[in-house]
């Protein structure tokens, strides 16, 4: 998988996790434009994560949640925005 494919895949996983926690990044960015930088950083953290399979499995089992799994590199930002 190439770098851009990996980043695209990570953006999809990140978006799905955001939906699981009822986080709307578009709305957050509209109200606080600096959030776009945090979103980009979150996607890059997701791309560096080694738990993608566990993460997608967790999301399959938890269509809605109040917290991310403990290993999530974006736990702080997602739970802050939730």
25-42 CB burial, b ≥16 within 10 A, e <16:
beebeeeeeebeebbeeb
Residue 28 confidence (pLDDT): 93
pTM score, two decimals?
A: 0.89
Cα–Cα distance list, 9 to 15, 32, 43, 80 (Å):
10, 25, 9, 23
If pLDDT is split at 50, 70 and 90, which confidence band does 3 have? confident
30-80 pLDDT, tens digit each: 999 999 999 999 999 999 999 999 999 999 999 999 999 999 999 999 999
- Mean pLDDT, residues 17-32 taken together: 94
> Is a pLDDT exceeding 90 seen at residue 2?
no
Task: Find out whether 46 and 73 touch, Cβ atoms under 8 Å.
Answer: yes
Task: Find out whether 79 and 40 touch, Cβ atoms under 8 Å.
Answer: no
């Amino acid at each position: 998988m190439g770098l851009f494919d990996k980043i695209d895949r990570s953006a999809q996983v990140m978006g799905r996790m955001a939906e699981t926690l009822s986080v709307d990044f578009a709305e957050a960015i509209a109200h606080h434009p600096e959030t776009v930088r945090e979103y980009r950083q979150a996607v890059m953290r997701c791309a560096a994560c080694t738990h993608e399979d566990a993460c997608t499995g967790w999301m399959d089992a938890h269509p809605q949640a109040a917290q991310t799994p403990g290993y999530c590199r974006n736990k702080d930002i997602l739970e802050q925005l939730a």
